[in-house]
């Protein structure tokens, strides 16, 4: 069951489950979030932005071409506000921090810090310190590929359950990637009103936090 956060004539917002691709993948084109929602809504939906397959949380699809143009423009101009929850390895000392390191995409599908990369800005603050992990609230001010994952890895605090940027053996101990898109603020594409969409962390996320604190 996919939780609907907002639904009107212009857009559909839902809480994406972890482990489900946003759009069709090459090796599994038949099943993805958009296809499931189109079947549920009985109408075509247009992709505005994406969440990585292992990431859960708020995501928006447009119902019309006009809404798609308006919403896509907001994301491209970084006029939206996104907030994530992230559980990372290690105890983060400062209550607040971040990175402005430029990121470049590599052929492996990873992104990494590179002086020749694209400008990038991520900020985070500590929500909870556990014996060997830290729960962070993370705000990406730009929208680069794997931005949060790459910046936290470069800071010495890779995400729990992340085999791409963390230790593969350690990541295999955990049931999911610990990144959740908790909040998205944007302007409604029709009337311009501020729309705040929120998705509580799913039980799969909360269970890992509890286990990490045990």
Which residue reads 């020749």 in tokens?
116
Q: How many CB atoms are closer than 10 A to CB 109?
A: 9
* Structure tokens belonging to residue 10: 């212009």
How far is residue 71 CA from its own chain's centroid?
17
Cα–Cα dist 213/194, whole Å: 37
> Residue 34: left (phi > 0), alpha (psi -120 to 50), or beta?
alpha
* Structure tokens belonging to residue 85: 């929850």
Active-site annotation holds for 52: yes
Rg (CA), the chain: 17
Q: How far apart are the first and last CA of the chain?
A: 30
Q: Are 87 and 209 in contact (CB under 8 A)?
A: yes
Q: What is the DSSP letter of 167?
A: -
Query: Of 52, 100, 167, 191, which is the active-site residue?
Result: 52
Cα–Cα dist 132/175, whole Å: 17
Cα–Cα dist 47/27, whole Å: 19
Residues forming the active site: 52
């Amino acid at each position: 069951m996919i939780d609907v956060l907002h639904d009107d004539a212009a857009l559909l917002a839902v809480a994406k489950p972890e482990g489900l691709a946003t759009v069709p993948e090459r090796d599994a084109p038949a099943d993805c979030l958009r296809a499931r929602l189109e079947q549920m809504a009985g109408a075509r939906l247009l992709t505005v932005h994406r969440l990585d397959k292992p990431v859960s949380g708020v995501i928006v699809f447009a119902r019309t071409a006009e809404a798609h143009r308006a919403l896509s423009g907001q994301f491209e101009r970084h006029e939206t506000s996104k907030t994530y929850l992230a559980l990372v390895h290690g105890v983060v000392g400062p209550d607040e921090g971040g990175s402005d390191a430029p990121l470049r995409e590599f052929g492996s599908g990873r992104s990494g810090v590179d002086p020749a990369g694209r400008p990038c800005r991520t900020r985070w603050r500590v929500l909870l310190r556990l014996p060997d992990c830290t729960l962070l609230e993370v705000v990406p001010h730009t929208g680069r590929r794997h931005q949060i994952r790459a910046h936290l890895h470069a800071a010495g605090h890779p995400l729990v359950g992340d085999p791409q940027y963390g230790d593969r053996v350690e990541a295999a101990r955990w049931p999911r990637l610990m990144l959740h898109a908790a909040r998205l603020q944007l302007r409604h594409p029709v009337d311009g009103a501020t729309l705040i969409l929120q998705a509580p962390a799913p039980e799969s996320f909360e269970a890992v936090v509890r286990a990490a604190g045990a």
